[in-house]
Structure 1
Amino acid sequence: MRALVSRFYASLLIAVGALWAPAQAQNLPKSEVRTDQVVATLLAHAPQGVPIGQTPEAAAGQPVWVGLQLTHAKDWHTYWKNAGDSGMPTELHWTLPPGVMAGDVAWPLPAKFPIGHLANYGYDGTVLLPVPLIITPEYKPSPLADALEVKLKASWLVCRQECIPQDGEFALQLPLRSSTALHGAAFDAALKAQPTSVTGEHQIELTDGGQRLAVRVAGLPASVQGQTLEFFPETPNIVVTAATPARPGEPVGPRTWSQHWDGAVWTADIPVSPDRADAPETMPLVLVTADQAQGWRADAPVKGAWPAVAPVAVVSPALEAALAANANANANASAAGTAAVPASAANTSVPTVTFLLALLGAVIGGMVLNLMPCVFPVLAIKVLGFTRHADDRRAHRISGLAYTAGVVLSFLALGALMLALRAAGQQLGWGFQLQSPGVVAGLTVLFTVIGLNLAGVFEFGHFLPSSVASLQARHPVADSLLSGVLAVAVASPCTAPFMGASLGLAVALPAWQALAVFAALGFGMALPYLAASWWPAVARLLPRPGAWMDTFKKFMAFPMFGTAVWLLWVLGQQTGIDGAGALLALLVTLALVLWAFGLQGRTRLLIASLSVAFGAFLLATIGPNVIHTALPAAQAAAAAGERWQPWSRERVQAVLGTGQPVFVDFTAAWCVTCQYNKKTTLANDEVLNAFDAAKVQTFRADWTRRDATITAELNKLGRSGVPVYVLQAPGKPPIVLSEILSVADVKAALGQL
């Protein structure tokens, strides 16, 4: 016995070490984020260490720098503080200890990236954005602290011909009692790339009725006099960014500019942007040599009165026209009954015939839900109940009614909750409960426990009071009702055929009509079992009770484990590999606890106590990973050229604005129908070739985690859950395809373009 206990204790220690190491590793500071376009790294430079408890004057002689280094893939670039005609500057948000402050970004000299009739300012290759840390006397680390923790949340836009927003979270530890100079060369190079401030009689004068700027910059070094310089205004939306140099002897025009030297003063004649959005009194500007080796910064006061500011153009005229055309097309389609339910129609009654058809569609859709793989395990339990009471017709009928009540009441409760939260301003859709990692984890535990019980690993009576353990036998009605509740919990996230349109209509109806649709869905789902419970022929077809039932019971454990595996995969989509791994470890420990309680004598007390303690330890250390939502998959930013791009309303409208049709797959990891369609129809070579032939850009809207923007888009399409498949061409109403997607459906829709 002692040897057994010793081996068990040693195994526990080994398991603790194996699980503790990943738990600690995932908490280590992360200083690098990689995408296909950018490698972003947080660097630090403190050659004289971190000055603690010193006066500002003394601390100034011990510089502490941090910075985000961006290494771009070939042909990709990010942006300067003034991005130019488009783009977005890189943004840095620091989290620092009390008494430590971050200064402004010391922006290196930018480059100009002409793109057709536009131009952007930014960086390619490798660039470091240095930021000084200001260590004040108020910074008082703990006597036991040996490092200053620096955290950064950064976002940047990386572009080639297309643009991808990306972000990342970084952290590093700056040693308090030693120097940090590993990246000194990178910081020295970045600081040398700063523009040098010049003093003198700088001036900008408005000319030609405010349509042009006459710029004069004095104080530049004699070594650059006579050279051609590049002009970068720090204030955005003031000048024509893509203006090109006028040819010698040619007068300047609305999109050209000129420069020359008036002795030691650099002068330029630059056109003002027709979309100007500001009227600054002083304009900071940067001048850079042609080889980008040197640059100078000057603050030039503006002389003259600015004309009225033009309205800010949110989108280009072409895109604005495309948006208007799509809006008109959607309105016409809605009038014809083929597109989304308009927002103005929310909570309004519909014709009686439409309402009755919605109820019929809900009943049929609820019946089809029984074909979903996630519902099979629950139905298997009910079938096992049939075999136990094959001759008890009355028990069958009562069980059928109770199961139906559980299903209908659950649908009504979910529907009422969704309607109430929507009325409170929440953007929720059908299946919202599985968008919560906590709910998914709870269902995974439930199905695992049921599976272990069916497999014979434990019996509830071994560690529950007899009054509780016998509840199922003493209260079969309650057991059937709760089985209906469980069936709805795992079935509702998938909208079967006929069900999607009914749900989409339900959320736009008055409350009593909407709840009637939800009740019809529940009745449809329970109808097959209800009919079987009241049909005597079914009972006669079932085999007689016998020894085979124990084998059948254990066999039914595997559908339970299969459902738990599916839910574990769903959780992995929400919380990442750390969350899924943590839950898997907790499930193994739970199985150990349940098995231990089934033992006898002192062995039960010892092993059960150790397993419970071990489980509590794991729950405290790695348990939080189970409900910690990981970054959305879209933030991984699909590389250019990938077939399925992350969905956003702006991206779709931009593609439609170029005249290209789009196909959107609204999906979720917890939707079994979605995954089936994705692996079969949407991965079919015939479908993919048809997309390519029609030059369709494909997008994927991932609703695995709660996303209010996707929910709102589904509402516009008259849907409240996934899957939803939409094909749309510019200027035409969207085509919403069937939830059960086939190759023929997709090709037929493409033929309508």
Structure 2
Amino acid sequence: MTISRLLLATVFIAASAISTLAGAQNPFPIGTRGAVVSTEQVRAELLAWAPEGVEAGKPVWLGLQLTHRPEWHTYWKNSGDSGLPTQLDWQLPAGITAGEIAWPTPKKIPVGTLANYGYEGTVLLPVPLTVAPGFQASQADIKLKASWLVCRQECIPQEGEFSLSLPVKSSTALNGKAFQATFDATPRPLPTGRSQIEVSGQTLKVSLDGLPPALQGQTLALFPETAGVTQPAGAWQQAWQQTGQGWLWTAQVPLSSERTESPARMPLVVSLNERAYRIDAPVSGEWPQGATRAAVPAALTAALQANAAGPALGLLPALLGALLGGLILNLMPCVFPVLAIKVVGFTRHANDRRAHRISGLAYTAGVLLSFLALGALMLGLRAAGEQLGWGFQLQSPAVVAALAVLFTVIGLNLAGLFEFGQFLPSGVAALEARHPVVNSFLSGVLAVAIASPCTAPFMGASLGLAVGLPAAQALAVFAAIGLGMALPYLAAGLVPAVARLLPRPGAWMETFRRLMAFPMFATVAWLVWVLGQQSGIDGAGALLALLVLLALTLWAFTLRGPARTVIATISIALCALAIWAIGPNIIKPLGATPLAAASGRWQAWEPGRVEQLTARGQPVFVDFTAAWCVTCQYNKKTTLTNAAVLADMEAKNVALLRADWTRRDPAISTAIGRLGRSGVPVYVMYKAGSAPQVLSEVLSVEEVRSAIARL
């Protein structure tokens, strides 16, 4: 078997099926493209209001209207103790620019002992547009990509893509009442006047001037726009004071013990029923020392240094860690099937030193270029605003299905069902035979495709550092991982002493080749299980049915005479029918994956959940995992289910949270990035007042029990 024949034949057989599945549905956005996106929790609609047309100097507004199901809510610009504000990313015609969200007045939403600021029911988030003079068009095509976090007791990150076209010359007044109602609920600005904020110890003393007389003597709600400064659920006092110049509303608000800002001015919103006012007041006094932005990375760096093998700072340690991690990557279970193919290739050249060298160099080039390409793609997507990490490609069900097809074809070839020369034109096969170096290069590409979801020891900290480095230095880290992975084969090709350790060619090779079909089929079984976590039992069943039909098609082409034409035609027709009928099940979105569901003592991770638990004094252990991460599954079966580990967790009352990254989840990507990591597995122990304790990628019972003992 040769890798180049394998890939060419697989493209001829499966390209149409893969493209059909990939184009059937985008696996990431929830809902459909258009003016409306609906989920089980929220109905989101893009609205427009241009009462005098889309012209310079005229009022033009867009807005995302969120209609929540009962008990669900989304968040204000300052979400409070937990949560994330809604984000809007616009694509507008040249000559039109979007302003900031004119946030309506929120409400306080209690969450146990904590409190959030957000919206229930129906809320419209309006955004003003500015039209440049001379804007000429018959219509304005608007596109929006929005993301929001919707919560009840659990939280679900969601996103949607919206589009609409606005006529430029005519009025768009249909949604005027909705926008006007929102404007009435938006805080009215008040001049600063004598308003001021004073820092006094661990308290903010707020004095607001100029509030309307109708509010005097009333109990008001207070919403600081700057997040992370005050305690939303903290006990605070308010009063009205009469001075010679009028009434002042005063309040004493406790500062957050985990403050991330020390602002010179603080915009505040105060409200009473439907009336709300906004005042931007200066801050006087000296801020107490706290968990400022500068202190957080320092604490995180210390935690990484204490738990990583080697320094976590600097490019050189990152390169060394990446090289060592790439070397260890060869021992990870996900790489074993490709290693078998490589061993067979080496034994074929056992007596040809030149072929050994060329094979080793070509394989190394394939691995290096593949790691660089994957790294560049990930960095480019992150720079464009996507929340991605290492192994992001297997978060797409279409990619998982494509790999299952590829490895099914490889397994059937190794088992002797067919030879690739039966499908390739004779000219292509002859060209491939004259250039065996292509086989070694493509085997390196294949190895990276399978190994990339894994994170070996020493790789995690290096990858986490790489995403924050300049592009050239980040790519050097990815290249170091590739070099480490290719190093054993490069040594076998260049060092005669290593080459002499390899077995000699013989009749055993045919038996070994057929034996290696079974690791391939095991890989397919794993990929089908991964797809089941992403798309449910219907998706896994659909993929299995398509793989059976693929095997039937391949077998049909091995026949001779009229039977080949008849059976091959029928099998191809069945494949096409199955792709149309059940193929979309493979990539359909699944609201919640089984890994994320609560199981026994384990609860599903959600944004803000760690902070809620640690605020009550309870330590927390978080397992950032994914179904496609073999290392994650190994640790789960061997260490995280160990009776002694669970007993220690129970004794210290440790809350166990599992963050499932099987499908793309921007909230989990952000949380992993804050820990200095870029892929799974990541294991973290949290304790109030201490920096997060990041454990090793390959867990041992002793390491986890030691971490628990330090609580």
Please give the TM-score of this superposition, normalised by the length of structure 1. Answer: 0.58
The CA deviation at 1:629 is: 2.2
**Distance in 1 (alpha carbons) for counterparts of 2:324 and 2:596:** 39
The CA deviation at 1:751 is: 2.5
Q: Is the Cα contact below 8 Å between 1:408 and 1:522 reproduced in 2?
A: yes
**Distance in 1 (alpha carbons) for counterparts of 2:539 and 2:613:** 36
Choose from 654, 671, 691 the match for 1:733. 691
The CA deviation at 1:540 is: 3.7
The CA deviation at 1:638 is: 3.4
Which entry has the higher C-alpha Rg, 1 or 2? 1
1:493 aligns to what? Answer: 453
2:478 aligns to what? Answer: 518
**Distance in 1 (alpha carbons) for counterparts of 2:315 and 2:508:** 48
- Helix, strand or coil at the partner of 1:371: coil
Q: Is the Cα contact below 8 Å between 2:491 and 2:498 reproduced in 1?
A: no
Q: Is the Cα contact below 8 Å between 1:579 and 1:625 reproduced in 2?
A: yes
Listed as ranges, the matches of 1:432-471 within 5 Å are: 432-470=392-430
Say whether residues 1:652 and 2:597 are aligned partners. no
Amino acid at match of 2:547: L
1:720 aligns to what? Answer: 678
**Distance in 2 (alpha carbons) for counterparts of 1:336 and 1:116:** 30
Listed as ranges, the matches of 1:612-651 within 5 Å are: 612-633=572-593, 638=598, 642-651=600-609
Amino acid at match of 1:496: A
Listed as ranges, the matches of 1:252-651 within 5 Å are: 325=291, 330-334=296-300, 336=302, 338=304, 354-470=314-430, 472-633=432-593, 638=598, 642-651=600-609
- Helix, strand or coil at the partner of 2:622: strand
Q: Is the Cα contact below 8 Å between 1:646 and 1:700 reproduced in 2?
A: yes
Q: Is the Cα contact below 8 Å between 2:155 and 2:606 reproduced in 1?
A: no
The CA deviation at 1:157 is: 6.3
Q: Is the Cα contact below 8 Å between 1:165 and 1:635 reproduced in 2?
A: no
The structure showing larger relative contact order (alpha-carbon pairs under 8 Å, at least 6 residues apart) is 2
- Helix, strand or coil at the partner of 2:154: strand
In structure 2, runs of 5+ residues without a counterpart are: 1-39, 42-67, 74-79, 84-109, 116-120, 122-148, 159-211, 224-232, 240-250, 254-267, 282-287
Q: Sequence identity, in percent?
A: 60
The CA deviation at 1:447 is: 0.6
**How many corresponding residue pairs?**
505
Q: Is the Cα contact below 8 Å between 1:634 and 1:646 reproduced in 2?
A: no
**Distance in 1 (alpha carbons) for counterparts of 2:681 and 2:112:** 38
The CA deviation at 1:534 is: 2.3
**Distance in 1 (alpha carbons) for counterparts of 2:301 and 2:353:** 52
The CA deviation at 1:330 is: 3.0
**Distance in 1 (alpha carbons) for counterparts of 2:376 and 2:509:** 40
| Structure 1 pair 571–605 and aligned structure 2 pair: CA distance change class (3 A) | same
The CA deviation at 1:354 is: 3.0
Q: Is the Cα contact below 8 Å between 1:391 and 1:539 reproduced in 2?
A: no
Q: Is the Cα contact below 8 Å between 2:596 and 2:660 reproduced in 1?
A: no
| Structure 1 pair 307–717 and aligned structure 2 pair: CA distance change class (3 A) | closer
**Distance in 1 (alpha carbons) for counterparts of 2:82 and 2:678:** 34
Please give the TM-score of this superposition, normalised by the length of structure 2. Answer: 0.61
The CA deviation at 1:78 is: 8.7
2:154 aligns to what? Answer: 164
Q: Is the Cα contact below 8 Å between 1:430 and 1:492 reproduced in 2?
A: yes
In the TM superposition, what whole-angstrom CA distance separates every residue of 1:491-545 from its partner, at most 9, and x where no partner exists? 0111100111111111121221111111111000000111112233444444443
**Distance in 2 (alpha carbons) for counterparts of 1:391 and 1:453:** 26
| Structure 1 pair 495–335 and aligned structure 2 pair: CA distance change class (3 A) | closer
Q: Is the Cα contact below 8 Å between 2:334 and 2:454 reproduced in 1?
A: no
1:109 aligns to what? Answer: none
Q: Is the Cα contact below 8 Å between 1:370 and 1:376 reproduced in 2?
A: yes
Q: Is the Cα contact below 8 Å between 1:725 and 1:737 reproduced in 2?
A: yes
In the TM superposition, what whole-angstrom CA distance separates every residue of 1:49-91 from its partner, at most 9, and x where no partner exists? xxxxxxxxxxxxxxxxxxx999xxxxxx999xxxxx9999xxx
In the TM superposition, what whole-angstrom CA distance separates every residue of 1:117-140 from its partner, at most 9, and x where no partner exists? 99xxxxxxxxxx9xxxxxxxxxxx
| Structure 1 pair 326–638 and aligned structure 2 pair: CA distance change class (3 A) | farther
The CA deviation at 1:697 is: 1.1
| Structure 1 pair 425–652 and aligned structure 2 pair: CA distance change class (3 A) | same
Deviates more, 1:582-591 or 1:460-469: 460-469
**Distance in 2 (alpha carbons) for counterparts of 1:327 and 1:211:** 38
Q: Is the Cα contact below 8 Å between 2:303 and 2:693 reproduced in 1?
A: no
Q: Is the Cα contact below 8 Å between 2:371 and 2:448 reproduced in 1?
A: yes
1:57 aligns to what? Answer: none
Amino acid at match of 1:486: L
- Helix, strand or coil at the partner of 1:664: strand
| Structure 1 pair 209–520 and aligned structure 2 pair: CA distance change class (3 A) | closer
The CA deviation at 1:384 is: 0.8
**Distance in 2 (alpha carbons) for counterparts of 1:86 and 1:434:** 33
The CA deviation at 1:426 is: 1.8
- Helix, strand or coil at the partner of 2:550: helix
**Distance in 2 (alpha carbons) for counterparts of 1:506 and 1:166:** 28
The CA deviation at 1:487 is: 0.5
Amino acid at match of 2:624: F
Amino acid at match of 2:681: P
Q: Is the Cα contact below 8 Å between 2:534 and 2:589 reproduced in 1?
A: yes
Q: Is the Cα contact below 8 Å between 1:451 and 1:561 reproduced in 2?
A: yes
- Helix, strand or coil at the partner of 2:658: strand
- Helix, strand or coil at the partner of 2:314: helix
| Structure 1 pair 460–634 and aligned structure 2 pair: CA distance change class (3 A) | closer
Q: Is the Cα contact below 8 Å between 1:329 and 1:733 reproduced in 2?
A: no
The CA deviation at 1:628 is: 1.8
**Distance in 1 (alpha carbons) for counterparts of 2:403 and 2:386:** 24
In the TM superposition, what whole-angstrom CA distance separates every residue of 1:406-462 from its partner, at most 9, and x where no partner exists? 001111111111122222222211111111111111111111101001111112222
Q: Is the Cα contact below 8 Å between 1:404 and 1:523 reproduced in 2?
A: yes
2:649 aligns to what? Answer: 691
Indicate the RMSD between aligned Cα atoms, in angstroms. 4.8
| Structure 1 pair 78–374 and aligned structure 2 pair: CA distance change class (3 A) | closer
